[in-house]
Amino acid sequence: MSDIRANASDVAAGAAEPGFGDFVALLKPRVMSLVVFTALVGMLAAPVALHPIEALAAILFIALGAGASGALNMWWDADIDAVMRRTATRPIPAGRIAPGEALGLGMALSGIAVVMLGLATNWAAAGLLAFTIFFYAVIYTMWLKRWTPQNIVIGGAAGAFPPVIGWMAATGGLAIEPLLMFLVIFMWTPPHFWALALFVKNDYDRAEVPMLTVTHGRRATRAHILVYSAALAPVAVGAAFTGIGGPLYLALAVVLNLLLLRGAWRIWRRDETAAAADGWRVEKRFFRFTLSYLFLHFGAILAEAALRPLAVWPVALWS
């Protein structure tokens, strides 16, 4: 009764009432969709098949863990979200959800996701999910994001864990294949986001978040894109010669990585005057390409997994 009275007085004072959608927004559903896709690929590429219900539960709880870490991220970053235009309308800075509610939701969902993944599959996968939430919420969000311009690189590691968790959920162990999938996302993240940083005027500096374009300059950012792309290409192509690869993946990876290197080389060769003159056309094209790059690589891994039972490729040629 007192709860109703207290809430009724809040409304009288004009307090905003959070809707169900605000709590969903707190879980960063767009990030969750990428997590679902990469975790699903990791799970389906594994040599052990889960029961469909177990697989569904595993994907849901991995996504829930990602959502929980998103809520914890929004709770901690509410102060900087409030001063950046892109994030000012998020539920906490907009005043629709109290910070304590976001913290409570993030912690509760983290616990549910980890325990349920452990019960649905195995405790190794659940442990890695717990570590991923800790890594994203504590190591990245609380510690390194506001401290080093390499924050994108570190944040990329958190985003690279889902296919490994998916693989572990199916097999209960690790292998070279999930590590390669991890490395592809890990090394893909910096060139992808730094290309965006070159043509989007964001206000990270106003929020005092060190970004490479601000701390080391745009010339250094272009060099970083080239170096990370050069490191990514052999890993992405090399995965073709492991259990998750095959002729289809190899053909696609060779083409995509040649295009990646060509784009990164073009970005490196340009100066700001040339980029400004054509409205950062090369940088924008590279950014859009990197989106397809990741999707196609993981799509090809999925296609190889689907083709494997059909024995399309001779075993002696590709095992």
Partner 1 sequence: MPLAREHELHRRRSGRNIGVGLLLVAFILLVFGLTIAKVERGGTIEAFDHTYRPGLAVRHEELQQGEER
Residues that bind partner 1 (CB under 8 A): 4, 7-8, 11, 17-20, 23, 51-54, 56-57, 60, 119-120
Q: What is the DSSP string of 120-151?
A: HS-HHHHHHHHHHHHIIIIIIIIIITTT-TTH
Comparing CB distances to partner 1, the nearer of 3 and 311 is 3
CA gap 77, 98 in Å, rounded: 13
CA gap 148, 5 in Å, rounded: 47
Distances (CA, A) of 179 to 22, 114, 234: 35, 21, 14
Residue 237 beta carbon to partner 1: minimum distance, rounded to whole angstroms: 38
Q: Count CA atoms within 13 Å of residue 109 on its CB side.
A: 24
Comparing CB distances to partner 1, the nearer of 17 and 309 is 17
Comparing CB distances to partner 1, the nearer of 12 and 316 is 12
Comparing CB distances to partner 1, the nearer of 112 and 142 is 112
Residue 239 beta carbon to partner 1: minimum distance, rounded to whole angstroms: 31
For the beta carbon of residue 139, count every other beta carbon within 10 angstroms: 16
Comparing CB distances to partner 1, the nearer of 23 and 228 is 23
CA gap 213, 192 in Å, rounded: 13
Residue 303 beta carbon to partner 1: minimum distance, rounded to whole angstroms: 27
Residue 174 beta carbon to partner 1: minimum distance, rounded to whole angstroms: 23
Residue 205 beta carbon to partner 1: minimum distance, rounded to whole angstroms: 37
Q: For residues 42 and 166, is the Cβ–Cβ distance under 8 A? A: yes
Residue 17 beta carbon to partner 1: minimum distance, rounded to whole angstroms: 6
User: What are the structure tokens assigned to 72, written together?
Assistant: 């914890």
Residue 56 beta carbon to partner 1: minimum distance, rounded to whole angstroms: 8
Amino acid (1-letter code) at residue 124: A
CA gap 261, 68 in Å, rounded: 36
Contacts for 281 with CB less than 8 Å, ≥ 6 apart = none
User: What are the structure tokens assigned to 306, written together?
Assistant: 């689907």
Comparing CB distances to partner 1, the nearer of 106 and 155 is 106
